[in-house]
Structure 1
Amino acid sequence: MSSDAGVTARTTPLGSGDPRQLGSYQLLGKLGQGGMGTVYLGRSQQGRLVAIKVIRADVADNPEFRARFWSEAETARKVARVCTAEVLEAEPHAPQPYLVTEFIEGETLARFITRNGPLAAANLEQLAVGVAAALTAIHRAGIVHRDLKPSNVVLSPFGPRVIDFGIARALDAATSITGDLQQLGTPAFMSPEQIQGGAVTPAVDIWAWGGLVTFAATGRYPFGEGTSQVLLYRALNDDPQLDGIDPALRPIVWQAMRKDPAGRPSAQQLMLRLLGDSAADPDATVDPSQVTHVLEGWDLQAAAGAALGATPTPRSPTTDPRAGTGRHATAGAQTPDDRTAVTALASGAGVGAGTGPGAGTETVDTPTQSRTRVGGSPTGGRRRTAIAVGGAAAAVVVAVAAILITQTGGDKKDDTTTVAGSSSAPPQKFALPQAKVPLDTETMVFATKDSGNYDLYTGRLPDQGELTGVKKITTASQDELLPSISRDRRTVVFFREESETENALYAVAADGSQDPVKLFTSGAAENLTIADDARPSLSPDGKFVVVRSTTNADGLPDAGLYVARLDDGKVFRLNTAQQATDPAWSPSGERIAYWASESESDRGFIVTILATPTSTPTPLTKGQGNRDADPTFSQDGQRIAFSRQEKDGDLEIYQMNTDGSHVTRVTAEKGQDQDPAYSPDGKWLVFTGERGGAPRRIFLTDPADTTTPDRQLTTVPSFHVRWSTG
């Protein structure tokens, strides 16, 4: 059964009064019913699964609601995808307005705790940081969630995701008429200022965060059980009941639930405290890699001693009538299916597998995923290198590891799992060569031809003039090209053309202090045939590489993009077209960008795909030029730079948002420009270009300024520059 079919089977069939189409979206079933409307499972014209919240008619008739709906939804679309469900579209002018968000497969926190009891210690820490990261992104966009609660947190296969934000202020206008107090906040998680009708600020979400963490840690509401009136009274007058929370976490929850909103931390400060930096500057920012590290190893489990199916202290149905949500509805509505989802995140967008350009040509079976812990701490100890803002997505890298383990690990072959690339050779186990001192952020890696062939060099950007401190880090009789820098900036993976018929990937210490090591000499990846001019890209955690191969893990012809684990060569194919090439891993670890074409060609259109085997690709620039190549991510994960061939034959550097919007040209000088790469701080773009008939060299440009002439950084022939990990 396909992933789409499996999800659809768990919805309620559409009734006679339900629409079959909303705008361009086909409705597949009903995910649930909430206080403000109905949530449907839909599919876009490109094959993407979405959740569509349709506002009920009496609420939609409120003119103030419609007036606010559009602006609120547009603001919500700007929220960074950090442990949140992405808002895709809103239609305020329909007879019944609706909001479209990405579909998140998974069980809500409310349902999980009801079935299994409190979270295990490691999961509790991950939940606390993940929800704080989501609130940081939401608040930065100028939004207050207003109704954060366990049924609005989905425990996806890759970490916690906050849903049902973005139109709270518009719904507030409706509640003044409907009298539906529920939509102003859930009584068990409402802050004192909400209860008293005071100013609603981001501090109300911090209070709710404290209550949510209390519930996840103990299975109890912070003010116990009772009617709505009783819970509201206790929130105003009593202290929260924090017994049973980890002693290291309890002071942070206590501060988050101070009666005075001015005494609560901001979401950013909350994250700093969670990451162990309580004395930090209040205006300090969180390193995204910290968030990533905390979310690594997400493996949802109940606390020790909590039996599967055990129920915590019973909850009064008057406190949260929708808290029994079993499956995602970005409106927090009940669903008929209580089974926990274990399939991959069903938010990959674009053309369905094998249905058109950018899509794969075969069906990829979804492996049965066991509860194998990959990375992270198995004990739930306090880790002080935590998650990154932008990090829920990074847990996809962990999911990749789990997929590879279930596909190729163990001695038995499961009837429902295809073992990828059996090999008689034992899997290789080695540590990648690493520089003792990482490259600084002003240093880039590139290929230069100073004699008969290309070797890899590093060079540092000075305030003026050409690169300084240029140093060779590889030496061979063959061309060595297409470097990829690890996030810790200690290792470089690159392509070597070993002969006219054989290519290989190598890794070298970024300072050239160790000899290069050939990758994939055993394991399933040994059967890959690295394509000519195939650019590799390292995952943010440095454990995987994605590259174009013309054969699959069994050595059979099947061109496309393959993800391989570096330590043992286990491998799977991404669901891409056979023409897919030049992959670039996003800094969050969630997606991979590449370019594909409708036929064999040297250029095409830019596509992104989730880093899992069954995800569907999302074409971004198809129809906008279709002569695009060389995609790369900015380190904040917000932009993609690429090269585009103009009608006059010139190649120029462009950039766009990662959803394909706001495509703008960066370079203005005539030439043949390609291979863009962002600086680690995102301020600069470097690229290689042929200008005025001279050989290809490296140039620097400000992506926000197309009027200042580009700065030349090298005078010798130079190719394939890389600066950051994107």
Structure 2
Amino acid sequence: MESQRRTGTGRPLRPDDPERVGSYTILGRIGEGGMGAVYLGRGPDGRQVAIKVVRPELAHDPGFVARFREEVTNAQRVASFCTAQVLDHGESADRAYMVTEYIDGVSLKDYVKEHGELSPGMLQGVAVGVAAALVAIHAAGLIHRDLKPANVMLSYSGPRVIDFGIARALDVASGLTMTGQLVGSPGWMAPERILQQQVTTAADIFSWGCLVAFAQNGINPFGTGDFSVMSARLLHGDPQVGELPSPLDRLVRAALDKEPRNRPTARDLLLTMVGGESSEAAVLGTLTAWQSPVPLAPRGATRVMGESTREAPSPAGPPPAGPPAGSPPDAARGSGPPTAYGTPLESGPPTAYGDRPPTSHDAGPPTAYGGGPVPRGAGAFGSAPATVAAGSPLESPTRPSGPGTRPPTGRPPEPSGRPGQGRGGRRAVLAGAVVVVLAAGAVTGWLAFRPDDKKPSGTTTAAGPAPLPDDPLVVRIDRQPGWPDKCYGSIGKLVPTTAKASYVLARNDTCDILPRWSPDRKKIAFTRSTGLAVNELWVMNADGSGAAMVTNQMSGRSRVAWSPDGKKIAFVAKAGTGRQIDVVDVAAPHSTLRLTTDDAFKDDPAWCGSRVAFWSRRTGGLQTIFTVDAATPGKGRVQVTHVDHDVNDPSFSPDCKQMAYTDQPTKDTRHIWITTADGKGTARQLTSDSTRDMDATWSPDGTWIAVARGATALPSIWAIRVSDRHEQRISPSQGNMAHPDWS
């Protein structure tokens, strides 16, 4: 939407404007554009949001509505790095709408119009921030299609890209397509868009080049004029980029190449800007402090979805509540078996286990996220990957390096500071976009923070990161060390928000492992191992009562998976000298259904919807994840992962659309990655800890993933927020826990 600068309290609502959209209260009209109107709204939690409601004629276009739903759903997957996070979407009064986070600031277009070209520091920040946003957008399988200065916000926390992933809906709207109208902004469109050729992510790179040149010179590199004039220049003219600092001069010229295949990728841009030919010290000097422009943040100023306002209405009601203050009380101690490494636990189920609150792991730089690893030896334009100078703030002496290891990363701190407080001068660390490339060659954004103003773990900030859910996990609790050579496992529950654990079923004479909640959370299935060749599937009530064996035909110490209706369980069954995935009816355990028949070794079933996932050595002897259709045994096999090393531990997201898994490029390296469950998407890395991460499990709301972390004999449970990779330990500091299951 085109940016409009206004003063005062903003426009009052018109008679035909809605007072509510879905569960959101409308506070005022922000502006309007080609797709519809934008409103300032308040969510049920009191948070200010931006609500874009499509105009009536588009709401009745089936092609537009279908594409709008699809693209907004995809946009919700975009990591909130240097972007305006998409929070919600739906339909109200037969009109589609989209909700994004509220952004406080001014558009790049308005700032340059009022103040002229950017300072060198701001220019570098915009170039890096917008490139980081494009990596996140492209990693989600989206193309912005309408990147321009009006869609780049200069906020207190750095540049933020808005309106991504929805321009395509207008492209396919039947009423527009039939007339041959081209949706886009003259002067910022790539030549292939004007020629109506195939549009790829390279079109966004061309727009990035135009945008950076505009920020440097205050004018589009192809000048001004109507659509026909600008189209001719874009197709045949040479851009006037002025005197850009290195390496931006080279990058902008490469981005503005007429041929899409000759342009760098967004990751190429980042790699070169933060670690190419320029001095690392000089680059870090310009990126580690974002100096907000003076006009950005007067009290009450608002800027939402590409529209500028002043003194917007304030939402009524208190701000979103954070976690309860104070630490959980110490666990009650008692006597009697079983003991946790010599420490008696309170007798009787459930028994308290552990007495320390969760800790936040904030050390180290932000972690890489999205897009997968950079090929070895391939930096920007084929050069070697960027490196960190010895002694630089980004160097981590405790992390492994050298051949065979993946670039390590740390964890991003929580955002802090509130929009609308004071004028300019607020510094925000932009380390995300730097470290993403230096450390892992992927992408993150900068997160505004001050060292003395960190948010407590799980706090919901203005940007809306999901708080840590309090739904308990079922876990394996080791009564004493020994795993995997000796097993002293018992089944327990772990409350993530308090790091308190309790036994559900604890016997000193059994090895009970790999628990799994039933879909209604009323029962727990688990594996009982009574010897090297004897493994049994058991089911009990959630309080530990009614434990009963379902089958003793399991092969190995393997996890199991409930069917969506909670009536059946998939498990790894003995099949001669091999293994197959079987399904057993819990109420009729002698009735089984075989889902696989091939000879390949397989393990770790997971079940969501009609699909059952597992890993198999079916492809070249490598552990590869597949899914099969439970309704048609032996048919419908889909390969989910496509890498040249072992992977395992598949775990479906609650909506069955994504899958987390353990990536094992070397014997001692295990990280969690996420991909689409249909195997067609691009995998992205979630964890990069120097120790091993495995056994991923999604929270019931799909916003966090819990993992078992550490050496095999000394595991602990950690939770990682999917949106920004913030992580914290959620198991107590005493004792070992593993095999978590959350959803």
User: TM-score normalized by structure 1?
Assistant: 0.49
Task: Write 1 or 2 for the structure with the bigger share of strand.
Answer: 2
